[in-house]
A and B are shown apart, each in its own frame.
Chain A
């Protein structure tokens, strides 16, 4: 049964709360692992923003505030599951094993994707909103036909929830009972469009209308995110069908480095959510319940620092491919329209590699 309210296992103050249906199954070390993931991904994200401000990336989509929504599910996934992300899923990519420098290639405009989707069983980011949900359902239907005990999981935002693609994917997932988990990170904003105009009802209620369960989770509570996702994935793998998880969260930073959120939202709103920081509450739990020493947290900070510097070095050392190669991997096979576009670029003189 789906509870009407938000599933929360850890309060913003880092105190555990009981929930009738879910409880945390993680050990202190495992929780510390989640803390480490979140702290590292936040640091890498900040370095990426700096790199963009220094002219080294064309664009960056910050993750601040949404670390728990991604690290929880990221660690609940099995290596054999397949994930279908959008542009802000750096935390998922991290958990799937994608190297940070691979995450940045698309943002440095040196690749159409950035990594080998089959290597990590994590597809390249869909920038066209909602597209990835159809891919995920298609893949999930493939799993069904292969008789495999795997699940597909896909990620989208509150804004994307209004896309036809997303709703169509709900229909297909429901009709075929596909082993797919939909994770909607409701961060309250689709660029400057507030949540209030995306849906008159809580987003997770939508699933009921399509005929599968929906559940709302405190997206800033990594323990709850982990447990809810794990159960939904387990359920999907054994033929239980799709689940929509609405991670109720907030984008603390800008939509992307091209955006200025102070133009459309008030500081006070951001402040409210800062107090619900996903990383701080886990730290507080670790300190109080597990008596974790500050030195452990310092080690993570150091590790994150090293990774950030490594990332910087890797980005600065990236080759700049011949722009004409951007046409190479659009389709696996020859495509006349792509060839036409490629030829047009050649005629315009767009070739010749680094400049």
Chain B
């Protein structure tokens, strides 16, 4: 018998460290060759390390969460015979696993759209603003998530005239925005009368991108079965049960408000220039989350739920702020505990953390339970408003639409402002219209002048 030390290998060409995610063996275990030992996460991937020895585990040189150096001891084995002699009964690593802890695609948080240069969420993608374009609404769809397609001189022309190029419907080939399109838009006209039919950018042939449906991939319309049944499992099951429970027990009511969020957007743009805040992503959602916690401090009744067993309204003076997130597995709602204790930077950091975990697929069950108030941001999907269903266990949910330029009346004059629509759904058993309205108005005031609201506290 002798001891062999398995040094943490460089599994990814030039890595210097890896974090232990989970041990799959314990001290004293007898392992065979190629038996999975541990999942480690490197800068490149989460990988499973198979055992290089057959023997007994003597020492595990780290704990989950520890960052281990490459080429330093990871596991010590007691092996029979000569060190690396393979055991006769090796595990056939049928499909070496690369990773199972990261999501299949980047999760877009409901409320965490991809920020563009101006820090303004969406509208960039909306093309069909003219009456003629609405005649063929689907034609614009293939471009809806892509970048604006135009040429630098046309971009410049739009910029020099203070025109948001993204708002111009493109009539060129494949929806390219032409000089004529910009000129027409500047003259206040709509799209060309005889807009060239836009070609779908997705070829008819070749592999088709599946569309997601609550964590499932759906076959394309043309090739999929005429009818398909997806059994309720995972997120689909959870979502179905929660929504039925909520809709059948909670008498829903809602209030709406349109808000001029220009100052909120300016605040965000300003903060982005702050060298001390480098690396911290601040978005409209950050400010909205702050507005919500501020509203709760002023109107604690909104952070509450109905206990039907005891027939009591339960008011909570601590907010576990849920954020609805669209992941590859479907909708999940992780929350930020004690969100009411956070300032703007703290809120941004917590949201960043939450987003990172959602993207990595490492959101824990604990992080998804106990939500007392939820925000769902449908803005990144390019819609103005939503009538959201209250998650069971809480009393209200705020739906946030896209922040987009819109005409706004200031001093009896129509000006262009960044406008967002909010909808607060509430449980009318314990929250009445007056309270809900006050809360929504408070949130609206906060977004209208966030600096003042933050200072006022």
Contact = CB atoms under 8 A, between A and B. Distances in A.
Interface of A: 43, 46-47, 49-50, 52-56, 58-59, 62, 64, 188, 194-196, 199-202, 252-254, 257-269, 272, 301, 305, 308-309, 312-313, 316
B50 A50 contact: yes
B407 interface: no
B188 interface: no
A54 B90 CA distance: 14
B328 interface: yes
Nearest to A261: B98
B49 interface: yes
Interface string B72-93: 0000000000001010001011
A49 B11 CA distance: 10
B250 to A, nearest CB: 33
Given A200-B203, A269-B210, A262 B104 contact: yes
19 contacts: A43-B92, A50-B50, A53-B9, A53-B48, A53-B49, A53-B50, A54-B6, A55-B8, A55-B52, A196-B206, A201-B203, A261-B98, A261-B99, A262-B100, A264-B105, A266-B212, A266-B217, A308-B92, A309-B86
B100 A50 contact: no
B90 A308 contact: yes
Contact of B90 (A64, A260, A305): A305
B interface bracket (residues with beta carbon within 8 Å of A): 35 or more
A97 to B, nearest CB: 25
A186 B365 CA distance: 40
B207 A46 contact: no
Contact of A252 (B84, B93, B95, B207): B95
Contacts of A308: 90, 92
B12 A195 contact: no
Contacts of B52: 54-56
B47 to A, nearest CB: 6
A266 B211 CA distance: 11
Q: Tell me which of B96, B98, B202 has the highest count of chain A C-beta atoms within 10 A of its own C-beta.
A: B96
B210 A260 contact: no
Contacts of B86: 309, 312-313
Q: Which 4 A-B residue pairs are closest in the complex by CB-CB distance?
A: A55-B9, A260-B45, A268-B217, A54-B52
Contacts of B11: 52-53, 55, 257-258
Nearest to A257: B11
Contact of B102 (A49, A194, A263): A263
Given A53-B48, A196-B202, A257 B12 contact: yes
B34 A50 contact: yes
B13 interface: yes
Nearest to B215: A268
Contact of B92 (A200, A201, A305, A316): A305
A268 B96 contact: no
Nearest to A259: B45
Nearest to A195: B207
Given A54-B49, A196-B202, A266-B104, A258 B12 contact: yes
Contacts of B249: none
B22 interface: no
B19 interface: no
Contact of A53 (B47, B103, B210): B47
B95 A202 contact: no
Given A253-B96, A254-B98, 7 more contacts: A46-B94, A50-B50, A53-B9, A264-B105, A266-B212, A267-B104, A312-B86
A59 B209 CA distance: 30
B328 A266 contact: yes
Given A53-B47, A196-B203, A268-B216, A62 B92 contact: no
A202 B207 CA distance: 10
Contact of A259 (B44, B48, B94, B217): B44
B303 interface: no
Contact of A202 (B6, B206, B209, B328): B206
A308 B212 CA distance: 40
A46 B45 contact: no
A239 B194 CA distance: 53
